[in-house]
């Protein structure tokens, strides 16, 4: 018989817009303020929770 541990997962997906322009040269339209759209998705999985019901993985991510 295979023993299976519970798997916990939390995910967050966010969209954001970053604006910038280039200077110090003739970069054409890049010299004008313009936007870029980004989508970021983070998914954390762990086989267990700490006593506080938090992922132990979060401790590992803290230095990032």
pLDDT tens per residue across span 13-30:
999 999 999 999 999 999
Phi-psi region of 22 (alpha: psi -120 to 50; beta: other; left: phi over 0): beta
Gap between the Cα atoms of 54 and 57, Å rounded: 8
Give this prediction's pTM. Answer: 0.52
Residue 64's pLDDT band (cuts 50, 70, 90)? very low
- Domains of the chain, by residue range, sit at 1-19+31-64
């Amino acid at each position: 018989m295979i023993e299976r541990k519970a798997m916990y997962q939390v995910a967050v997906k966010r969209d954001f817009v970053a604006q910038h322009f280039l200077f110090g040269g003739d970069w054409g339209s890049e010299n004008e303020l313009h936007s870029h759209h980004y989508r970021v998705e983070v998914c954390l999985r762990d086989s267990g929770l700490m006593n506080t019901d938090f992922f132990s993985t979060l401790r590992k991510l803290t230095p990032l």
